[in-house]
Amino acid sequence: MKKFAAVITTLSIAAAIIMYVVGSNSGHLSELKDFFWVPIPLAVLSLIIAFSKKKENI
């Protein structure tokens, strides 16, 4: 599960960067620049999952 969360984090951050760059360069796709932040909460959530430690039962 942690590897999957790390992959989702990477893809979400890459999507946000690509949306910002494409939205900045293209006049027809300028809406992408306005909404580049949308995948960032998913990246933060999956980053928390990827670095969370499992609790041990005593």
**pLDDT single digits (tens) 8-35:** 999 999 999 999 999 998 888 889 889 9
Question: Which phi and psi angles does 12 have, rounded to 5°?
Answer: -65, -45
What is the predicted pLDDT for the residue at 53? 77
d(CA 51, CA 46): 9
Which range among 2-6, 17-21, 44-48 shows the weakest confidence by mean pLDDT? 2-6
Q: Would the CA dihedral through 20, 22, 26, 32 be positive or negative?
A: negative
pLDDT band at 48 (very low <50, low <70, confident <90, very high): very high
User: What is the predicted pLDDT for the residue at 58?
Assistant: 67
What was the pLDDT predicted at 30?
86
Confidence (pLDDT) at 40: 95
Which token pair is 39? 């995948």
